[in-house]
């Protein structure tokens, strides 16, 4: 592996130089949200101060240029996840809205009483609750694929859940709690063999590994901009064009129409059909800068370095007395969830916060998963390519403080 | 500000480790399950009320962080023998104290040893941990049921 110059990368992120309570900030909550490089911050500032106008309306040149930049971002995202066509990229407010859009529009058209939707026991609520609500509304059945103690989908059990009634499989590519990277390509193939469509939740995978939606062969792929070093309020739903073209709109109103009369409305083609109202223009432009920034470093380089951090962190945390790591699958993203015999996750978080270390404590919007492991909550360190081994050492040192307080 | 001086004091750590009145009261109409969805803490409060609205016995079960467990434990030891009216006054004062709206050093109160929780006001994400048991108590006084911290 070529040398990964993390100090050079850290210089790109102004927040990483911040102090927390007088101590250097050790930010290990990247699965929740990530910091932004200057490239993103500056791009938004430049756009807002020199180039800003609304998009897809009016015909003055300023607006035409803004529209052009907005659509260029769509092409950047298309290339970034290797979609076949820019029209397959729908801009949303985040992965949550992306999945809600898919659930609403796909559900309205294709889900009826007695149909079945399959999810897994490790889904984030964003890829669980929309399907649960849809099933309740339509009289459909939600089926849950079980997982092993190490945090992997039990594929034989998953296979048994698929049948002629299965209409959709919704699965995360990388668990936000366990870190498990699921075999989504095989899962999509199994779904298709059963005659079902497949949605992949890419919120935790897109920022950390190279994504090829055509290779995965998913029908939908959802992710957030703010977890991939871009602005909050941005997200993407990818959908295969023919499928998108068959779906009714989710939110309606301005921009997404073909013609409106008092009697009826006809709608635009995708993706505009699903982008009602003025979008988050500056933020989408900023997302484009984030995509450029990540592509410049190379997702394979990022994945390799983060894997090194994961191995280092797993080893270091395992050596803390009474610390239990939850999620030990062989194929993992750089997420380490844990509990400690000595202290509740909430107490862990408060104490290490005062040592300058930010981790998340709680149920991580995955209550069915917490129930599966019989814990009310976990603490979670989630790493990014701007984190370092000394920061992990700082975490371990802070965890020893927890042991001291609760001795 | 130090979390050891303000939050994790010895009395709190002791009540976390050895919670008092950590048991159910089976034969009572007054109980409530309290839940903090933010952190998953669950505190169940049981009350036995004698004639004259006196708290004859109070206990708790559940799981949670050190602050919520210690708060529940100290609350039970504090309330035995008090009237419901007195308990409600202390609830109001406790609530104000952890929100920073009552300073026990300068204002009148009936909080006694419960002032140990005043440091919680410096830790805004932990205020609900300290007050979960008290909200659940009020629920148990009023009726049997469930309450969720929002």
Contact A344 B65 (CB under 8 A): yes
Tally DSSP H helices, then E strands, for chain A. 14, 17
Q: How far apart are CA B106 and CA B104, in angstroms?
A: 6
Q: Which helix (H) or strand (E) holds B136?
A: helix B127-142
Check residue A20 and give its pLDDT. Answer: 86
Q: Do domains A6-30+298-405 and A41-296 have the same CATH topology?
A: no
Contact A354 B2 (CB under 8 A): yes
Domain boundaries, chain A: 6-30+298-405, 41-296
Residue B40 has pLDDT above 90, yes or no: no
Is B3's Cβ below 8 Å from some Cβ in A?
yes
| Long-range Cβ pairs for the range A275-281 (8 Å, 24+) | A275/A90, A275/A91, A276/A249, A276/A250, A276/A251, A276/A252, A277/A251, A277/A253, A278/A54, A278/A55, A278/A254, A279/A55, A279/A70, A279/A91, A280/A91, A280/A93, A280/A231, A280/A233, A280/A234, A281/A52, A281/A54, A281/A55, A281/A66, A281/A70
CATH code for A41-296? Answer: 3.40.640.10
Query: What residues of B are in contact with residue A344 (Cβ under 8 Å)?
Result: 64-66
Supply the ipTM of this predicted assembly.
0.88
Could you tell me which chain A residue has the CA closest to the CA of B69? A344
β-pairing verdict for A19-20 and A166-172:
unpaired
**Distance (Å) from the C-alpha of residue A378 to the closest C-alpha of chain B?**
9
User: Is the torsion defined by CA of B88, B89, B92, B95 positive or negative?
Assistant: negative
- Say which CATH class B3-142 falls into: alpha beta
A interface toward B at CB cutoff 8 Å?
Answer: 343-347, 350-351, 354, 361-363, 367, 370, 376-377, 405-406
- Give CA torsion, residues A11, A15, A20, A24, to 10 deg: -10
CATH code for A6-30+298-405? Answer: 3.90.1150.10
The residues of A annotated with a catalytic role in the active site are: 365
pLDDT one digit per residue (tens) for chain A, 407 residues: 557 999 999 999 999 999 888 889 999 999 999 999 999 999 999 999 999 999 998 789 999 999 999 999 999 999 999 999 999 999 999 999 999 999 999 999 999 999 999 999 999 999 999 999 999 999 999 999 999 999 999 999 999 999 999 999 999 999 999 999 999 999 999 999 999 999 999 999 999 999 999 999 999 999 999 999 999 999 999 999 999 999 999 999 888 888 899 999 999 999 999 999 999 999 999 999 999 999 999 999 999 999 999 999 999 999 999 999 999 999 999 999 999 999 999 999 999 999 999 999 999 999 999 999 999 899 999 999 999 999 999 999 999 999 999 98
Query: What residues of B are in contact with residue A361 (Cβ under 8 Å)?
Result: 39
């Amino acid at each position: 592996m070529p040398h990964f110059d993390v100090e050079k990368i850290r210089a790109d992120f102004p927040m990483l130089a911040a102090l927390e309570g007088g101590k250097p900030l050790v930010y290990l909550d990247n699965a929740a949200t990530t910091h932004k490089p200057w490239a993103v911050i500056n791009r938004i500032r430049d756009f807002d101060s020199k180039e800003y106008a609304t998009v897809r309306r009016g015909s003055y040149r300023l607006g035409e240029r803004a529209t052009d930049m907005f659509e260029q971002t769509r092409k950047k995202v298309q290339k970034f996840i290797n979609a076949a066509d820019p029209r397959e990229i729908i801009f949303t407010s985040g992965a949550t809205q992306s999945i809600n859009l898919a659930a609403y529009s796909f559900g309205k058209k294709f889900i009826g009483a007695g149909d079945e939707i399959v999810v897994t026991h490790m889904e984030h609520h964003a890829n669980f609750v929309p399907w649960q609500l849809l099933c309740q509304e339509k009289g459909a059945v939600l089926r849950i694929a079980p997982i092993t103690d190490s945090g992997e989908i039990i594929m034989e059990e998953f296979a048994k859940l698929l049948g002629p009634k299965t209409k959709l499989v919704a699965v995360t590519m990388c668990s936000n709690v366990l870190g498990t990277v699921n075999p989504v390509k095989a899962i999509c193939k199994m779904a298709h063999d059963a005659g079902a469509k497949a949605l992949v939740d890419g919120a935790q995978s897109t920022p950390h590994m190279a994504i090829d939606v055509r290779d995965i062969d998913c029908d939908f792929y959802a992710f957030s901009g703010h977890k991939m070093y871009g602005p909050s309020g941005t997200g993407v739903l990818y959908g295969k064009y023919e499928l998108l073209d068959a779906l009714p709109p989710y939110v309606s109103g301005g921009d997404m129409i073909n013609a409106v009369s008092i009697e009826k409305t006809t709608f635009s083609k995708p993706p505009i059909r699903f982008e009602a109202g003025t979008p988050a223009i500056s933020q989408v432009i900023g997302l484009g800068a984030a995509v450029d920034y990540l592509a410049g470093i190379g997702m394979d380089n990022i994945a390799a370095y983060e894997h090194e951090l994961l191995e280092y962190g797993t080893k270091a945390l395992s050596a803390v007395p009474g610390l239990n790591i939850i999620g030990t699958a062989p194929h993992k993203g750089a997420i380490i969830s844990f509990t400690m015999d000595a202290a509740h996750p909430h107490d862990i978080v408060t104490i290490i916060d005062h040592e300058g270390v930010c981790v998340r404590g709680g149920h991580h919007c995955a209550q069915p998963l917490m129930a599966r492991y019989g814990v009310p909550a976990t603490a979670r360190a989630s790493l990014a390519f701007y984190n370092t081994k000394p920061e992990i050492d700082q975490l371990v040192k802070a965890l020893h403080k927890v042991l001291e307080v609760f001795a | 500000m130090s979390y050891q001086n303000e939050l994790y004091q010895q009395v709190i750590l002791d009540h976390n480790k050895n919670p008092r009145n950590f048991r159910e009261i089976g034969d009572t109409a007054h109980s409530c399950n309290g839940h903090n969805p933010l952190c998953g803490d669950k505190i169940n409060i049981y009350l036995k009320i004698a004639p004259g609205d006196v708290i004859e016995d109070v206990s708790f079960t559940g799981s949670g962080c050190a602050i919520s467990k210690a708060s529940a434990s100290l609350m039970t030891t504090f309330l035995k023998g008090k009237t419901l009216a007195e308990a409600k006054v202390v609830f109001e004062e406790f609530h104000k104290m952890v929100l920073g709206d009552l300073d026990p050093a300068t204002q009148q109160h009936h909080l006694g040893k419960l002032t140990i929780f005043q440091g919680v006001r410096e830790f805004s994400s932990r205020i609900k941990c300290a007050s979960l048991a008290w909200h659940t108590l009020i629920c148990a006084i009023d009726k049997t049921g469930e309450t969720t911290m929002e």
